[in-house]
Amino acid sequence: MDVSQYLEIFLDETKEHLQNLNTQILNLESDSENMDTINEIFRAAHSLKGMAGTMGYKRMQTLTHDMENVFSEVRNGTIKVQPEMIDILFQCLDALEEYTNNIQNSADEGTNDNEPLIKLLQGVLNGEKEASEAGEKPAAEAPAANATESGSEEKWNEIALDESQVTVLLEARKQGKKVYGLNVRVQETCLLKAARAFLVFKAVEEHGEIVVSQPSAQDVEDEKFDRDFTLIVLSDANLEDIIKAAENVSEIEKVTGGDVKLPEAPVESKEMQKQEEDAVSVKAPEAAKAAPAAKTGTDKKPAAGKPVVNRTVRVDIEKLDVLMNLVSELIIAKNSLVSAAGQEQNNSGFNEQIEYLESVTTSLHESVMKVRMVPIESVVSKFPRMIRDLSKKLDKKLELYMTGEETELDRTVVDEIGDPLMHLLRNSADHGIESAEVRAQRGKPATGSIFLDAYQDGNNVIIEVRDDGNGIDVKAVRAKAIERGTITPEQAETMTDKEIINLLFLPSFSTAKQVTDVSGRGVGLDVVKSKIESLSGEVDVKSQLGVGSTWTIRLPLTLAIIQALMVVVGHEKYAIALGSIQSIEDVRPDEVKLVENKEVISLRGCVIPLIRLNQVLNSESSKSPEDNLNVVIVKKGDMQAGLVIDELIGQQEIVIKSLGKYIRQCKFISGATILGDGEVALILDANALI
Amino acid sequence: MSMELMTGNTTTAVAGENKSVAEYVQYIVIRLGVEQYGIDIRYIENIVRMQQITRVPHVPAYLKGVINLRGEVIPVMSLRLRMGLEAEENTRSTRIIILHLEEEGNVGVLVDEVKEVVELNTEEIEKVAYDKGGKQSFISGVGRHNGELISLLDLSSISLEENA
């Protein structure tokens, strides 16, 4: 059967199932008795197995089959959920993910049998320790490269050696040479992993001969490894010397080494046989059990309270873009009809039809936008797992609370928002949450809490990352900024705390006293900021020392079409995005006061600086100084400003067009739009004006 | 605008029939004041009549602003100001030539008049030496047509932003 046409669906669904498994296993870790969760995991594993089988991915099928067996036993209550088991399951998921990635890249699942994982799973089934030992025998293949967090330290014992390699090693050992295993881990922030790895290879080769490398030397050179690689080395030198040589290469985080356990050849084959027998004897009854178990699984489906999946059609995003562009055209056409109708006021029937057209285009636009909207869940659902791993790595107790996963954003925004969010979360986990001792001293609960809240606010979506950690040490930032020469001590005197905190968003600025592998060395917050700004959003931080910090990301719901206020400044028309406008005020000239030689007005108890747009835009105001001022109050975060304009035209739906690459983006202009009469109007970026 | 286009196309078609392509390049001859310049036809996307240009603040003076060309927003520059000549007056013959440049995308240039399409033998094009004491040159060569000299515009130097 030709299944290639189903490949895409298979990949999509596999990813969904894997994500689901990740979430559910995480739930299982905190609540190991929850039958709903166990059933859900069982079902997902079962579907994965079935799909992999249909598509002919045998290795994937075998692995999921064994996972399914474990869950079936858990469900029957034969075995209990153990922390080690969770770790094994996560490794399995990583391995499955690797298969999926392989399939996505080459339509082939790859050749990694993941035998040690399968052995571990069977060990769980048997309740015997033996299998987990077997997993470390050299006969087995190494686990997936990205299963590093929970993998054993002595990776060199997991490398699959073929017979000739074993013979070479045994031969060398006979001649009195030492056989060492080395596990090298590069720092996470390392940019040129392959280059570093090459230097390690070179350093090690000065002391001995590299017999085996896992991943292969070629893969390492092509940077096809996660963060660590394992070597088996033949040498006369001391192990310490070799490790030292490797550690001398910069950006290498850790090198561990030890003797390689080399079994005598005959012993190995015997053990293999034994394991195989075990496997067979286990599999037979398991398979029998799995069948009825699967049936009960499906029967229970509605009872488990899983929401009924909506009927969906998968649509190529390019087709949606075309549709979107057509809607934009339609809106422009409609606008020109509206302006034509405005000139001929005598025909009321015509106006009615125009209004009807207007409401139709508006709802058409809304529905097309909605088609492009996806819940941010698809991005944030991977975070609980990430926090769990971080918690282990940093040795801090962390808990992530998420709300508003159902909040929807434009697909293009959702695709881009993952990295910045991940960075902020890592930042909170690493720099924000204090060590256990400090938390105890401060009388905070031992477990650090990180919150991820998403909600809609008008035309914007707000995503907040909050923690109850240390907060930002403004003094430290100030000192660091002076030390780095970012600001002068005199400047520092006059800067507010908020301004100091904003320095964090400058490139290469990190206050972490220690660079850890979790959050980097100052490349980060500036990237977060520029990424979010490229999505026309903004990021802001509030922090209280000792209490915690809140990072707020504000993103526009849609990027292409916005509601805007059209204004006139010096006979030219400009658009201001409605999202940033707070109110419109009529101000008498005598209400304008001077503070520090700048014009301000006092509005409902707030002093708001005035910006005369005609000065900013180099145009002549059509108003005389005695006239009342038309002031548009705009806000950016907590800051406000009053933009003085000449005339208001009204609210209009506008289609955002780029000004083109040729005109180097003028700071205050975020784009252009085409009005109903075909004229081009520029869009003012209120944020850049404040 | 369509009229001009038609003329351009017809000329291309006729010219295409009776020559071996390699040695001839077609240029559109434009007028700036009293001088004539040639623009390589391969870079020309469209020629439109003068229309409402929306000014963009804080850009060099030669950038007149942006126009709407069938839903696309395109920057327009004054060729006269770009080349350091006096500012133009808009007349009935003023045209905007839309150039398609590889790097910058579509850019419009304002010219006083679009005259004709000519075919120049590449061998007859003379390279001009760089003199004028460091002043930027906008000419890539000089061609000869019916006894008249036509300066050929170097589009890459026009499109580069001024570093002043």
- Which of A146, A148, A152, A91 has its CA nearest to residue A118? A91
Å from B56 to nearest chain A CA? Answer: 8
Residue A32, pLDDT > 70, answer yes
CA distance A663 to A652: 25
Report H helices in A566-673. 613-616
Tell me which of A277-286, A482-491, A652-661, B90-99 is least confident: A277-286
For the stretch A597-622, pLDDT in tens is 889 998 888 899 999 998 888 888 88
What pLDDT score does A661 carry? 67
Mean pLDDT of chain A: 76
Residue A448: burial class (beta carbons within 10 Å; 0-12, 13-18, 19+): buried
Q: Per-residue confidence at B57, pLDDT binned at 50, 70, 90?
A: confident
Residue in chain A closest to B160 (alpha carbons) equals A662
CA distance A447 to A470: 13
Å from A619 to nearest chain B CA? Answer: 9
CB A427 within 8 A of CB A524: yes
What is each CA distance from B122 to A29, A383, B139, B141, B145, in whole angstroms?
77, 64, 15, 10, 12
What is each CA distance from A275 to A122, A123, A126, A448, B108, in whole angstroms?
10, 10, 12, 44, 76
Residue B115 CB-half CA count within 13 A? 14
Residue A551, pLDDT > 80, answer yes
Residue A134, pLDDT > 50, answer no
Of B57, B58, B73, the CB nearest to A660: B73
Question: How many other CB atoms are found less than 10 A from the CB of residue A391?
Answer: 18
Question: Residue A50: helix, strand or coil by DSSP?
Answer: helix
Indicate the domain borders of chain A: 4-136, 139-289, 317-367, 377-556, 561-689
Q: Per-residue confidence at A154, pLDDT binned at 50, 70, 90?
A: low
DSSP state of A678: S
For the stretch A259-274, pLDDT in tens is 777 655 444 444 444 4
Predicted TM-score of the model (pTM): 0.47
Distant-in-sequence, close-in-space partners of A39: CB < 8 Å, separation ≥ 6: A75, A297, A300, A304
Report strand pairing: A398-403 vs A448-457.
parallel
Q: Per-residue confidence at B28, pLDDT binned at 50, 70, 90?
A: very high
Q: What is the 3-state secondary structure (H, E, C) of A177-206?
A: CEEEEEEEEECCCCCCHHHHHHHHHHHHHC
Task: Test B57 with A672 for CB contact under 8 angstroms.
Answer: no
| A4-136 topology per CATH | Four Helix Bundle (Hemerythrin (Met), subunit A) (1.20.120)
- Which of A628, A627, A633, A591 has its CA nearest to residue A611? A633
Mean pLDDT of chain B: 77
Residue B45, pLDDT > 80, answer yes
For the stretch A627-641, pLDDT in tens is 888 999 998 777 889
CB A141 within 8 A of CB A170: no
Partners of B72 on chain A (C-beta within 8 Å) are 657
What pLDDT score does B35 carry? 85
CB A169 within 8 A of CB A179: yes
What pLDDT score does B15 carry? 42
Å from B7 to nearest chain A CA? Answer: 26
What top-level class would CATH report for the domain A377-556? alpha beta
Longest dimension (CA), chain B: 49
Task: Test A680 with B73 for CB contact under 8 angstroms.
Answer: yes
pLDDT mean over A195-224? 75
What pLDDT score does B161 carry? 58
CA distance A580 to A458: 10
Question: Residue A289: helix, strand or coil by DSSP?
Answer: helix
pLDDT mean over A104-112? 75
Question: How many other CB atoms are found less than 10 A from the CB of residue A335?
Answer: 22
Residue B110, pLDDT > 70, answer yes
Question: Residue A607: helix, strand or coil by DSSP?
Answer: strand
Of B56, B63, B103, the CB nearest to A682: B56
CB A573 within 8 A of CB A675: yes
Residue A45, pLDDT > 90, answer no
DSSP-derived secondary structure for A520-576: -SS-SHHHHHHHHHHTT-EEEEEEETTTEEEEEEEEES-SSEEEEEEEEETTEEEEE
Tokens of A70: 């474990």
Among A370-379, A451-460, B26-35, the range with the most confident prediction by mean pLDDT is B26-35
What is each CA distance from A358 to A352, A369, A574, A680, in whole angstroms?
10, 16, 22, 21
Active site residues of A: 46, 68, 427
- Which of A204, A48, A230 has its CA nearest to residue A148? A230
**B43, B45, B50, B58: best mutation site toward chain A, by most A Cβ within 10 Å?**
B58
Per-residue buried b or exposed e for B14-51, using 16+ beta carbons within 10 Å of the residue's own CB? ebeeeeeeeebbbbbbbebeeebbbbbbebbbbbbebe
More confident residue, A223 or B63: B63
Task: Test B58 with A668 for CB contact under 8 angstroms.
Answer: yes
Among A15-19, A229-233, A425-429, A447-451, the range with the most confident prediction by mean pLDDT is A447-451
Distant-in-sequence, close-in-space partners of B107: CB < 8 Å, separation ≥ 6: A660, A662, B74, B75, B76, B77, B98, B99, B101, B159
Which CATH architecture does the domain made up of A139-289 adopt? 2-Layer Sandwich (3.30)
Tokens of A276: 């195989």
For the stretch B125-141, pLDDT in tens is 887 765 555 555 778 88
What pLDDT score does B61 carry? 85
More confident residue, B131 or B106: B106
Partners of A668 on chain B (C-beta within 8 Å) are 57-58
What pLDDT score does A633 carry? 93
pLDDT mean over A4-30? 79
Distant-in-sequence, close-in-space partners of A61: CB < 8 Å, separation ≥ 6: A49, A52, A53
Task: Test A332 with B71 for CB contact under 8 angstroms.
Answer: yes
Partners of A658 on chain B (C-beta within 8 Å) are 73
Among A15-19, A86-90, A400-404, the range with the most confident prediction by mean pLDDT is A400-404
CA distance B106 to B98: 6
Among A19-33, A88-102, A598-612, the range with the most confident prediction by mean pLDDT is A598-612
Reported for A290-299, long-range contacts at CB under 8 A and 24+ positions apart, including other chains, are A290/A65, A290/A68, A290/A69, A290/A72, A293/A42, A293/A72, A293/A75, A293/A76, A294/A46, A297/A39, A297/A42, A297/A43, A297/A46, A298/A43
Task: Test A660 with B106 for CB contact under 8 angstroms.
Answer: yes
pLDDT mean over B23-29? 87
Of B58, B73, B104, the CB nearest to A672: B73
What pLDDT score does A262 carry? 67
Question: Residue A283: helix, strand or coil by DSSP?
Answer: helix
What pLDDT score does A648 carry? 92
CA distance A467 to A519: 16
**B56, B99, B104: best mutation site toward chain A, by most A Cβ within 10 Å?**
B56
Tell me which of A265-279, A425-439, B38-52, B93-107 is least confident: A265-279
| Phi, psi at A436, each rounded to 5° | -55, -40
What pLDDT score does A389 carry? 85
What top-level class would CATH report for the domain A561-689? mainly beta
Question: Residue A625: helix, strand or coil by DSSP?
Answer: coil
Q: Per-residue confidence at A3, pLDDT binned at 50, 70, 90?
A: low
What pLDDT score does A584 carry? 92
Residue in chain B closest to A655 (alpha carbons) equals B71
Task: Test A660 with B107 for CB contact under 8 angstroms.
Answer: yes
Residue A349, pLDDT > 80, answer no
Number of H helices, E strands in chain B: 3, 10
Q: Per-residue confidence at A291, pLDDT binned at 50, 70, 90?
A: very low
What pLDDT score does B22 carry? 53
| For residue A263, cis peptide bond before it (omega within 30 degrees of 0) | no
